[in-house]
A and B are shown apart, each in its own frame.
Chain A
């Protein structure tokens, strides 16, 4: 079975500051890992995914995440926050050949001017 834990339900950052969202996973098989973003009144949008290729994954809007097997982590970062990054972010995991996603509880990001 696969599961993820997102540390921190709310994160507040200043515009231009580093964004760091933490995700730890548990998986009995090699995992595929994902970060989704949900803007207000919109559906979930895929930011990036790890599928056993490069451990550092670059996504849309300047986000990236690093897969660290030794730490069972897949933290999401962005060097410089923008006001438009205010949203809810979900980490998710699946088994390599599975269609089911297991999501974390989400982290809401607010960006201060």
Chain B
């Protein structure tokens, strides 16, 4: 596609439920990133995929959060037993070249519009 696509754009769920957030990166981009933006804060890193594998999941807050990218393209962020504190905008980004976020052509990360998750 022309850009990074995230679905749904908005999701309201009840506390304790399971949710899945989808990210469709730009075609051909091997690197994919998830960030979380809480109200009044900047985005915070969650996880980075290089191809199909999670190269760095150090930003995932706890084991209720999990992400997959089985075919090296679409990624799904999964949250189990949601809590009100999980409410945030979840951003996905992709880049062509994963080796350094700014050092050369193809390293720019393109962001999707985000999924606004509200846990009630």
Contact A96 B103 (CB under 8 A): yes
- B92's nearest neighbour on chain A, judged by CB, is A43
Binary A-proximity of B24-55 (CB < 8 A = 1, otherwise 0): 00000001010100001111110010000000
How many chain B residues sit at the interface, stated as a range, is: 20 to 34
A49 to B31, CA, bound (A): 19
Contact A103 B101 (CB under 8 A): no
Seed contacts A32-B102, A45-B111, A97-B100; 7 additional CB < 8 Å A-B pairs: A32-B103, A43-B114, A49-B108, A94-B100, A96-B100, A96-B103, A99-B99
What are 18 A-B interface contacts by the 8 Å CB criterion?
A: A32-B101, A32-B103, A41-B113, A43-B110, A44-B91, A44-B111, A49-B108, A90-B43, A92-B42, A96-B102, A97-B99, A99-B100, A101-B35, A101-B101, A102-B45, A103-B43, A105-B41, A106-B42
Contact of A42 among B43, B48, B100, B113 (CB under 8 A): B113
A45 to B114, CA, bound (A): 13
Number of residues of chain A lying within 8 A (CB) of chain B: 26
Given contacts A100-B48, A103-B43, A105-B41, contact A46 B108 (CB under 8 A): yes
A35 to B5, CA, bound (A): 22
Task: Answer yes or no: B117 CB below 8 A from chain A CBs.
Answer: no
Contact A105 B40 (CB under 8 A): yes
Interface set, chain A 44-75, CB cutoff 8 A to B: 44-46, 49, 51
Question: What's the nearest-Cβ distance from chain B to residue A60, in Å?
Answer: 12
Contact A101 B109 (CB under 8 A): yes
A-B pairs, 10 with minimum CB distance: A103-B42, A43-B111, A44-B111, A32-B102, A43-B113, A97-B100, A94-B101, A100-B45, A103-B43, A51-B102
